[in-house]
Amino acid sequence: MLELRNIHTYYGSIRAVRGISIIVNNGEMVCLIGANGAGKSTTLMTTSGIYTPVEGSIYFEDRDITQTSAEDRVALGISQVPEGRLIFADMTVLENLELGAYTRKDKQGIREDIDKMFQFFPVLRERQKQRGGSLSGGEQQMLAIGRALMCRPRLLLLDEPSLGLAPLIVKQIFEIIQQINADGTTILLVEQNAQIALQVTNRGYVMETGEITIEGASADLLADESVRQAYLGE
Ligand code: ATP
């Protein structure tokens, strides 16, 4: 479904991503793990079109989207949940969800999907008239995921959904993410919490200073001695 081929992304002279290749097959959940500053977020933002690579190609459903704008990528079916959620603090929960559907014109369908999000995240229904900024961290993450799902993506890009959340809330969020994947949305997940990321995904890529150093089935990575030592605190 998604293929990054030899992607290089720079910030001026900083070479954040140095020739990485990643494949995500239809229906899979794949993770990208690695230390702070390894280049994971840059990879995700290059996939969503916020950054343009200086070299390499990106294919989505066999179409070359390397030069496609971020907005057009949303219309093609790629949606990102950014690091730090970035919900609109002064808008209500409902308005945040409606914003997620900005590429759509089918009012009836949008209403149905909002209802679906409320079934998925009952706490958002209860708080639909509250300001986004008044929600807890976990609720804001749910709202950010719900907003990203409102454009009916086929590929969901998730950047550090566990960031700043208590372990119990992280567990809840990941149960929801697994449900979204089981319902048919393909997922590329960036996480610093390698333990949980490898537990819930099919395959994983390990990134170090802008390059992929290890890749494989997540179960194999969980058992890999070097991964255990470097990323699982052993
Ligand atoms: P984190 O988990 O901290 O977000 P990461 O693995 O996602 O880490 P990136 O955020 O992609 O890493 O950063 C990769 C490199 O690019 C780092 O050296 C970082 O300092 C640098 N970088 C990231 N964003 C910018 C920017 N807007 N301008 C300049 N350098 C940047």
Which pLDDT score, from 0 to 100, does residue 129 have? 96
Q: What band does 83 get if pLDDT is binned at 50, 70 and 90?
A: confident
Q: Count of CB atoms within 10 A of residue 16's CB?
A: 20
Task: Indicate if the pLDDT at residue 234 is higher than 80.
Answer: no
Q: What angle do CA 140, 92, 78 make, to 5 degrees?
A: 60
CA torsion sign, 174 to 176 to 182 to 187? negative
Within 6 A (CB) of ligand 1 lie 11, 14, 16, 34, 36-42, 83, 192
Which pLDDT score, from 0 to 100, does residue 27 have? 97
Separation CA 170–CA 216 (nearest Å): 24
| Ligand 1 atom nearest 207 alpha carbon | 6
CA of 37 to the centre of ligand 1 (A): 5
Tokens 């230390």, residue located: 35
ipTM confidence = 0.93
CA of 114 to the centre of ligand 1 (A): 34
Tokens 């700043």, residue located: 164
CA of 38 to the centre of ligand 1 (A): 7
Domain 2-231 has CATH 3.40.50.300: yes
Which pLDDT score, from 0 to 100, does residue 105 have? 86
CA of 184 to the centre of ligand 1 (A): 31
| Ligand 1 atom nearest 12 alpha carbon | 29
Task: Indicate if the pLDDT at residue 85 is higher than 80.
Answer: no
CA of 208 to the centre of ligand 1 (A): 12
**Which of 18, 32, 33, 40 gets mutated to test ligand 1 (max ligand atoms within 8 A of its CB)?**
40
pTM score over 0.90: yes
Helices (H), 27-185: 40-48, 70-76, 93-100, 107-120, 122-126, 137-149, 167-182
Tell me the CA end-to-end span of the chain in Å, nearest whole number. Answer: 35
HSE at residue 143, side-chain half, CA atoms within 13 A, is: 33
Q: Which residues contact 34 (CB under 8 A, 6 or more apart)?
A: 40, 192, 206, 207, 208, 231
Q: What band does 84 get if pLDDT is binned at 50, 70 and 90?
A: confident
Average confidence (pLDDT) over 57-80 = 95
Determine which residue's CA is closest to atom 4 belonging to ligand 1.
41
Domain boundaries, the chain: 2-231
Separation CA 81–CA 87 (nearest Å): 10
